[in-house]
């Protein structure tokens, strides 16, 4: 059975509607993650990425 939008039309009736809904839902989930503290600061992630890349460069050089 097709899920209905608030207007009564099936979800995804016109091209792109379903993907837009999925994008908005994803953003809302992300905002909830931020509120709940389930995120990693950008600087921390980038430090981890740099450390891994540096380790690969060192391993290739030896």
Q: pLDDT per residue over 17-49, tens digit each?
A: 778 889 999 999 999 999 999 999 999 999 999
Which residue matches tokens 């209905």? 4
Q: What distances in angstroms separate CA 23 from CA 26, 43, 57, one per listed residue?
A: 5, 25, 37
If you average pLDDT over residues 11-22, what whole number do you get?
75
Look at residue 62 in the predicted model and tell me its pLDDT: 72
Does pLDDT of 8 surpass 70?
no
Does pLDDT of 7 surpass 90?
no
- How many CA atoms lie within 13 Å of 35's alpha carbon, on the beta-carbon side? 6
């Amino acid at each position: 059975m097709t899920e209905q939008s608030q207007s009564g039309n099936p979800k995804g009736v016109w091209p792109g509607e379903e993907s837009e809904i999925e994008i908005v839902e994803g953003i809302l989930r992300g905002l909830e993650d931020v509120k709940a503290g389930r995120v990693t600061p950008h600087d921390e992630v980038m430090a981890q990425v740099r450390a891994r890349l540096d380790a690969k460069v060192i391993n290739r050089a030896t």
